[in-house]
Amino acid sequence: MRTYSVHELHGAPIDGDGIVFVREGFSWAAFFFNWIWALWNRLWLAAVAYLGLSIGLAALIPFFGLDQLAALIISIGIQFFFAVEANDIRRWTLEARGYREIGIVSAGSEAEAELKFFGTWEGPSKPPASLRPAAPHIPMPRPGAVWPRPTNRSEEVLGLFPQAETKADH
C-alpha cells in the first residue's frame, strides 16, 4: 500500500481539476531522472539547485584531488538525497502556489487512490477564514450627530484648534 497526500487549489472547480495527489516516500523517477523529473513536475528551483550542485561538484572534484570512485559515490549520494526529499519538495511547492492539503489516501496505485478519494469527496472545500474576504465595516452615524458642528461665532483660530471658551467670556 502506498500513501498519497491530496492537495486542493483554492477555488478549484467541482470537477476535481484543481486536485493533486502526491505520493509519500522515495521517488525512483527522481533518483534516475533527477533534474528532468523536477522540470516535469514544474519544480524550477529544485531543478536549478540540483544542476548547480552537480556542476559545482564536477568543478570541485579535481580541486580536492578525488578519484572517479569517490566522485561517483558523492554523486549517487546526492541523487539518493534528492530522491528521498523529492515528493516533500513537490508538496512544499504546491503549498507555495496556494494549494492546501485536504486529505490522505492509502491505495495500491494513484488511480486507486483517486477512486477512493473522489468516492467520498464532498466537493471543493471552503477557504479558511484567513482567506475569506471580511465583511466591510461601515460605521453608522449616531442619531443627531453632525460633524463638523456649525458655529455662528467668529473666533480667532490658532492652527486648527479654536480658542478655549469659558463662561466668563459670554
Tell me the per-residue pLDDT of 50-96, one tens digit each, with 9 for 90 and over. 999 989 988 888 888 888 888 889 889 999 999 999 999 999 999 99
Question: According to the model, what pLDDT value does residue 51 have?
Answer: 92
Q: Is the dihedral of CA 161, 165, 169, 170 positive or negative?
A: positive
* Per-residue CA distances from 20 to 55, 114, 145 (Å): 32, 10, 56
Residue bearing the bigger pLDDT, 147 or 111? 111
Question: What angle is formed at CA 99 by the lines to CA 110 and CA 18, rounded to 5 degrees?
Answer: 55
Instruction: Indicate the angle between helix axes 44-64 and 68-96, nearest 10 degrees.
Output: 160
150 half-sphere exposure, CB direction, 13 A CA radius: 1
Tens of pLDDT along 2-61? Answer: 999 999 987 777 776 788 999 999 999 999 999 999 999 999 999 999 999 989 988 888
